[in-house]
Amino acid sequence: MPQFIIFIDFDYFFAQVEEILNPEIREKPVVVCVYSGRTETSGAVATSNYLARKIGIKSGMPLPQAMKIGKDRAVFLPIRKDIYKEWSDHIMDIISEYSDKIEIASIDEAYIDVTDSCKDFNDAVNTAQKIKDEIYNKTGVRVSVGVSVNKAIAKVLGDMAKPNGIKSVGPSEIQDFLKGLEISKIPGVGKVIGQRLNDAGIKYITDVINADRDQLINIIGTAKYNYLYDIANNTYNKPVTPREKKNFGRYMTLPENTRDVNIIIPYVKKAIDSAYEKAPGLPSELSLVAIMEDISILSRSYTGARIDKNRALEIAIGLLNRIINEDQRNIRRVGVRLGKITKNETLDDFF
């Protein structure tokens, strides 16, 4: 039975979050920068939106060069990792509701295996669309999605779907798709390796099948050769490998945007109940996360001794009141995130 793998890529994630938080910059080239601190302009581009890319500003570019290109046109912003991490955690929680088999590849990429929950490939594609829609409806973040029979091809399709698209290749289409797939599109084949393979007569992934094995191993090594050969033969089936979750969260949509704690608290309790059901032990860190009416995210955290569920509600209410007192906006969604989990001990652990 084939795998049904969904790859999800958060489009130009850092810059997109900045656009959501400040809608006035959406129609401008937006550049998120890592400043080195040596001078006011030293550093590099972390990411840029598509308008910035159109004028030639790309990730990794030295900041002085980017500023020269984007002078009087682009918006340059310092990177805010904590904010992007909060948004990423929220989106990953949405994705994880569809399957326990989720592999977080980076802050803005994830694979999810829906083989067990989907009756056929069409069902997997429909699930991918639901995930894409839910992420947008709940966060405003646009994602590109690829759906296929393995991780490598799902990622290829996710890259092809940019921006804000969805592409799929199912079991009945995979052989024809592979015949026309350029080797340079395969994950893990960079410019250097791609050029070496092209020079050896390997333009498409299926060219690997009939190529001289020893020659290719001399060029790219045994592990890379086996990887490409498996993809070409459609026998690549590396599983989605969930990382051990360090945080467990749950978000609830309020019936209306509000600041009324009497309306919000029952939803905080539901979020706590759900988060504690997922967690393998007791946390010593609890965060109350509020998604505001403009979809911006605020959070306040408590760290202390192990927190049982009864005390969690008391702590969460205190954190909620802090947010209400510090910010005048209405709250759209509310969530609880548990961290620094200590696994529960049982008598079996002592024998």
Which amino acids are annotated catalytic? 109
How far apart are the C-alpha atoms of 255 and 253, rounded to whole Å? Answer: 7
| Alpha helices for the chain (secondary structure H) | 13-21, 50-54, 63-69, 81-96, 121-139, 151-160, 174-179, 191-199, 207-210, 213-220, 222-232, 261-278, 309-326
Nearest-angstrom CA–CA distance, 102 and 242: 5
Helix (H) or strand (E) holding 47: strand 43-48
Strand partners, 8: 110, 145
Distance of CA 133 to the CA centre of its chain: 15
9 is an annotated ligand-binding site residue: yes
Tokens of 166: 């969805």
> What CA–CA distance (Å, rounded) separates 225 from 302?
49
108 assigned to a ligand binding site: yes
The verdict on whether omega for the bond into residue 242 sits within 30 degrees of 0, i.e. cis, is no
- Can you say which residues are annotated as belonging to the binding site? 9, 108
